[in-house]
Chains A and B, each alone.
Chain A
Amino acid sequence: DVVMTQTPVSLSVSLGGQVSISCRSSQSLVHNNGNTYLSWYLQKPGQSPQLLIYKVSNRFSGISDRFSGSGSGTDFTLKISRVEPDDLGVYYCGQGTQYPFTFGSGTKLEIK
């Protein structure tokens, strides 16, 4: 199975600030078809996860351009700029390149 390692476990940021979350996979996430199926999800307190980013850098419908994804192969990053109160929660990276799909252990974002 592909192991997804996220860092940091938690971070605290001031409103308006910028943060980066790292996600590393134990194997390349490049699929045979050339696509890289790395996605990012946000689980707000008491809510279900929601999709933010898919295929490394594509924002899902309705997602603010304050969220951006980058990376390739085994190393990926989620950046959140101009942090707002509604951004707090746990961020998960996930891979869909091969079954079983796997997720990182999560990064908890707190607002200072």
Chain B
Amino acid sequence: EVQLVESGGGLVQPGRSLKLSCVASGFTFSNYGMNWIRQAPGKGLEWVAYISSGSSYIYYAETVKGRFTISRDNAKNTLYLQMTSLRSEDTALYYCARHGERVMDAWGQGASVTVSS
């Protein structure tokens, strides 16, 4: 069974940093690209970032480019999202999702990030 488990969320002040992790199991992590998608409270889905299986290709949404960094450790089956210079508008539930053929075919349960003073 494919499982994706996010962690690292929490309450953080504006301008500070936070690092999310997503541990994968049930599939060969190193064979798949991965995504981060977020959902602000009561809102829809917003794609945040993508990283290819070998980390050769990385893409970001304009709203986070220059502030967020996606990375992965295939030896640890773990995906990361380093978030810096956080803003109130970054408050959301952050999902990691496995990248199928240009589709998110498995999702984690989400990690909650609240940016507030």
* Chain A residues proximal to chain B, CB less than 8 Å: 31, 35, 37, 39, 41, 48-51, 54-55, 60, 92, 94, 96-97, 99-106
Q: Check B109–A60 contact: CB distance below 8 A.
A: no
Q: Is A99 touching B45 in the complex (CB atoms < 8 A)?
A: no
18 A-B residue pairings within 8 Å (CB atoms):
A35-B101, A35-B102, A37-B102, A39-B103, A41-B45, A41-B104, A48-B107, A48-B108, A48-B110, A49-B45, A49-B104, A51-B100, A51-B104, A51-B106, A55-B101, A96-B102, A96-B103, A101-B35
Contact of B102 among A49, A92, A97 (CB under 8 A): A97
Tell me if A100 and B45 are in contact (CB < 8 A): no
Given known pairs A48-B95, A48-B108, A49-B95, the reply for A103 and B101 (CB within 8 Å) is no
With contacts A94-B45, A100-B61, A105-B44 known, is A50 near B103, CB below 8 A? Answer: no
Q: Which of A50, A60, A100, A105 has the most C-beta atoms of chain B within 10 angstroms of its own C-beta?
A: A100
Instruction: Name the residue on B nearest A37 (C-beta).
Output: B102
Q: Are B44 and A104 in touch, CB under 8 angstroms?
A: yes
Interface residue ranges, B against A (CB under 8 Å): 35, 44-47, 50, 59-62, 95, 100-110
Smallest CB separation, A40 vs chain B (Å): 10
Interface SS, B side: strand
Beyond known contacts A37-B102, A49-B45, A51-B105: 17 more, CB 8 A cutoff: A35-B101, A35-B102, A39-B104, A48-B108, A48-B109, A51-B103, A54-B101, A54-B105, A60-B105, A96-B103, A99-B50, A100-B47, A101-B35, A101-B50, A103-B44, A105-B44, A106-B45
